Amino acid sequence: MNIIALLTDFGLTDHFAGSVKASILDINPEANIVDISHNVPRGDVFLGAFSLLLSFRDFPKGTIFVTVIDPGVGSGRAAIAVKCGPYFFIGPDNGVLSLACEKNGAHASVRKLENKKFFRTSVSGTFHGRDIFGPVAAHLSKGADFEKLGPMQKTFLHCQKPSTLVKADKIQGIVAYIDHFGNCITSIEQSHLKKMSGRRIHISIKSKKLIPLCKCYNDVPEGNSLGVIGSAGFLEISVNCGNAAIDLNLKHGDSVDVAFI
């Protein structure tokens, strides 16, 4: 049975995440629900998209991703389901699904969610996660026909990719995401660095501080900064046993450069 993976900005203080799960279980009591996170900063479509990008490849084929970062809920924005390679992605058509679909690299088939047969009986103008996205995922997990969810849509909105510029002697990127530990995940991927294998690397932050590229956090003394390829394949700026965002005064969008010598 397909896993249903939830990623939202609902937090855990209120009932919202639980209500989405309830709407799924009401249709499919045996649904296998996994929480990716409910702590995406509220309304931050890019960070939701990047969170999905970091996590979706860890899931088995057939997983149904329900991603609800939806500041336009109840407006004219479309609700969509995307079949891309071995995965299904469900959410608002505001760009939040785009980075994962692009990384997957497969052809994306898009359906506009209009078949009310797959919705909750009563649809609120403020809670499509519970009333549309969760129920559609539940029906898919029970074998509903993807093509019957609604009419085909030629394309879907794409959020702007984090800036990465690859030159002969330098890669210029930005801090794209900051995790719970304060590690600053950049837009620079391991594949970018592999193109320059065999050359010495210097990493500079905000055009000044130089740090080494290491294999693990413990390669430098406690409290020292370093670069490391994280588990999702992106260059991270970290501090051994520290918080890079705080200790190095880094925030989303700050520049990170890799120079090759």
Quick check: 158 and 166 in contact, CB under 8 A?
A: no
What's the number of domains the chain is made of? Answer: 2
Model pTM score:
0.93
Among the ranges given (60-69, 115-124, 180-189, 210-219), the one the predictor scored with the smallest mean pLDDT: 210-219
Q: Would you place residue 158 in the very low, low, confident or very high pLDDT band (cuts 50, 70, 90)?
A: very high
Supply the range of the domain harboring residue 100: 3-153
Q: What is the pLDDT of residue 105?
A: 81
CATH number for position 67: 3.40.50.10790
Angle at 210 between CA 249 and CA 176, to 5 degrees: 50
Q: Rounded to an integer, what distance in angstroms lies between the CA atom of residue 187 and that of residue 190?
A: 10
Which residue is associated with the tokens 């509220």?
42
The verdict on 149 and 169 lying in the same domain is no
pLDDT at 210 over 90: no
Q: State mean pLDDT over 150-177.
A: 91
CA distance 261 to 259: 7
| Predicted confidence (pLDDT) at residue 100 exceeds the cutoff of 90 | yes
Task: Report the DSSP beta bridge partners of residue 214.
Answer: 228
Quick one: 183 and 114 in the same domain? no
pLDDT at 242 over 70: yes
Q: Give the pLDDT of residue 163.
A: 79
Average pLDDT, the chain: 94
Inside any domain, residue 159 = no
CA distances from 182 to 114, 135, 216 (A): 41, 35, 15
E strands, 61-183, in order:
64-68, 79-84, 87-92, 108-112, 152-153, 165-166, 170-178
Residues 75 and 117 in one domain: yes
Q: Are residues 242 and 198 in the same domain?
A: yes
